[in-house]
Amino acid sequence: MSDQPSPHKKNPAPVWIILVIPAVIAVFALFLKQAVGPYWLSLNNDPSYIYLMNALYLVGGISPIFIQHPGITLQLLMAGLIKMLNFSAATPVILDRAFTDPEYFLNATYFVLLAVYLISLIAVGYYALKKTRSSLAALLIQSSAFLFLTMPAYDGYEYVLTIITNINAETLLISITNLYVIGLLKLYFDETKQAAVRSAVLLGLACALGVMTKLAFLPMLLLALFLLPGARPRMVFVLTFFILVFLLSLPIAARYGEIYKWIQGLIVYDGVHGSGKANFINPGRYVFALGVLIKSNWVIFAVYFLSFLAAFYYYSADRKPQKASAQSRKNILFWLAMSGVALLQFAMVAKQPATRYLVPAAGMMGLVLYFVYQFLQNKGYRLKEGVAVFFLLFMIVNGAYAYQYQKKMSTINQEIYNFSQKVFNKYKDCVICPYYRSSSPLFALEFGDDCSGFKGYAKLLKEKYPTAHFYHFWGKYFHDFTSDTANLKQMLADSPCVLLYGQPYQEFPNKFLKLEEIESSPNESVYKILATTAEEAVTAYLVSKRAAARQHYKDAYIFALKAQSLGFPNIDEYILQLKTLLQQNQVR
């Protein structure tokens, strides 16, 4: 059998075949979307509303504050879409529309992201079909798409939004990964020097988009640099990458220092998201996290681990003289390198363990399976029928799981929605103070605007919703959109009841408050505030003074706000002094 990768068949396969998987994915994606409900639900608002508010910052000429992913590509896409949907409208009008009906813009973003993904999936299939002239090869390369139907968008809860239904960096990253796969295919099949340069440009573009969307894409740079032949293509790749990264980062140029500190923290400290000690890795925690990550994604890990071992064996054997052609060695080299980088991604992600960070590796899995299939075909194995059956079973199993997942997710989100409606209707005469993981449209807006305490549109939101109050769960104080603290004792005096609404706790972590749980559900609870004591206000004030004496101004400020919210008298001037000291300390 020929060692050449193309053509697989004398006659080209029908083009319509590349539409099968995108069509199936579209049907399941829309089916899953029906189970999502509003994005302001407690399990859905993080990070969709953070991305919405940061996109609105761009619309208003403000540099985004949410740079941890970095996610600027998604923010730019959303900002452009919002401007298009409000063509010729003034910025204040656009902002008011977004604050009035944020779900409209979030749903529009979702459908654009889905359309972009389906187009990228068709493009992958078309390019694969064009080069391999094999229907089965094209379908195999596209098959990674099924993984994203049920891959959770975040960990910690069962039946949460999946990658294909969320509004997050990964929802855009799956499309960018398809662009990267096209770059790898082009590099593999187009062997001229000029073609290698063009592949370098395409891979550089894909890597820049990927890294500026999510730092988890970084291992793909190593793969491209390793596979590109010669110095010139590598230089073109690096140049393309850095030029596009620079251009994409211009809207967040004011945050370069923060981005550097964030990345430094991820590398230096041994905890999640830059927490913990400056030990790089905590061996016990790391090994445990790696085990959990592998167990949760055992199919992806098994494919890459076994393919890496097989590729290493065959590559070592085929390096012997007259054992195999250059094309066969190239096939194994791609297969080996891709598997190795995917395993490296597992190792990297284990430090910040989350399934969604494996999107680049998951998106390449179909291409690796194709290389394995092609190699074994060239070795004389008759696999076509077996691979076709395997592919069909893979599609059926994933489809069945997606169907089950949709039913479970629909039940959970409907329960959360119904509970939210019950709370706001039954207790409409009370002051309801939502906190983290509560299902409230106003809290979702506040949560998105409060990213890192930035509050870029706090004044506008307060003007639009002047009676809204919230509870800062970590700071343990009450506030409005602008973080002006609310006097709890005054709220208790003016209202028949003041309620806390958010995720349930067996024992609510605030000893300053006397609470009674009056409503509960599996995901949320409502607590009625019965009383707070002057002694607790004094305690908060004393803790604040002690922290200020040690120049821990952030802690001092937080406890001063607590004391104020608990009714400590004549504290406004002291809080203003702490705020000034805190700002001066941050500047230094």
Same domain, 390 and 485: no
Q: Which letter does DSSP use for residue 164 in this model? A: T
How are beta strands 498-502 and 477-479 bridged, if at all?
Answer: unpaired
170 in Cβ contact with 372 (< 8 Å): no
Q: Would you state the pLDDT for residue 535?
A: 74
Out of 178-192, 400-414, 442-456, 482-496, which region has the weakest mean confidence (pLDDT)? 482-496
Owner of token pair 């104080």: 477
Task: Say whether pLDDT at 351 is over 70.
Answer: yes
Q: Would you state the pLDDT for residue 5?
A: 47
Percentage, residues of the chain above pLDDT 70: 96
Give 432's strand partners.
499
Task: Give the pLDDT band (50/70/90) at residue 2.
Answer: very low
Same domain, 51 and 105: yes
Task: Say whether pLDDT at 1 is over 50.
Answer: no
CA 370 to the chain's CA centroid? 28
Q: Would you state the pLDDT for residue 320?
A: 58
Task: Say whether pLDDT at 501 is over 80.
Answer: yes
3-class secondary-structure state, position 152: strand
Encode 435-465 in three state secondary structure: CCCCCCHHHHHHHHHCHHHCCCCHHHHHHHC
Query: Which two three-digit tokens encode residue 402?
Result: 């997606």
Residue 351 lies in a domain: yes
Residue 137 lies in a domain: yes
Residue 6 lies in a domain: no
3-class secondary-structure state, position 517: strand
Residue 415 lies in a domain: no
Same domain, 380 and 512: no
Task: Say whether pLDDT at 27 is over 60.
Answer: yes
Same domain, 104 and 199: yes
Number of domains in the chain: 2
Judging by beta carbons within 10 Å of its beta carbon (0-12, 13-18, 19+), is residue 26 exposed, middle or buried?
middle
- Say how many Å lie between the first and final Cα of the chain, rounded: 70
- H helices present in 270-297, as ranges: 283-296
Give the Cα separation of 25 and 29 in Å (integer). 6
Task: Give the pLDDT band (50/70/90) at residue 323.
Answer: low
224 in Cβ contact with 203 (< 8 Å): yes
Average pLDDT, stretch 267-281?
Answer: 86
446 in Cβ contact with 46 (< 8 Å): no
Q: Would you state the pLDDT for residue 3?
A: 40
Same domain, 382 and 477: no
Strands (E) across 165-283 are located at none
Residue 330 lies in a domain: yes
Task: Give the pLDDT band (50/70/90) at residue 325.
Answer: confident
Residue 567 lies in a domain: yes
Average pLDDT, stretch 270-281?
Answer: 85
Residue 416 lies in a domain: no
| Backbone CA torsion sign across 50, 54, 60, 62 | positive
What is the extent of the structural domain holding 568? 421-587
Give the Cα separation of 290 and 177 in Å (integer). 23
5 in Cβ contact with 188 (< 8 Å): yes
Phi-psi region of 484 (alpha: psi -120 to 50; beta: other; left: phi over 0): beta
Select from 405, 440, 464 the last residue of a domain. 405
Q: Would you state the pLDDT for residue 187?
A: 97
Same domain, 378 and 433: no
Select from 379, 405, 431 the last residue of a domain. 405
Same domain, 341 and 447: no
Chain segment 46-98, per-residue pLDDT in tens: 999 999 999 999 999 999 999 999 999 999 999 999 999 999 999 999 999 99
Same domain, 385 and 430: no
Same domain, 434 and 340: no
Same domain, 307 and 221: yes
Average pLDDT, stretch 528-539?
Answer: 82
Select from 376, 405, 434 the last residue of a domain. 405
Same domain, 374 and 507: no
Query: Which two three-digit tokens encode residue 80?
Result: 């452009």
Residue 9 lies in a domain: no
**Average of per-residue pLDDT values in the chain:** 91
Encode 4-67 in three state secondary structure: CCCCCCCCCCCHHHHHHHHHHHHHHHHHHHCCCCCCCCCCCHHHHHHHHHHHHHHHCCCCCCCC
Task: Say whether pLDDT at 322 is over 60.
Answer: no
Same domain, 401 and 426: no
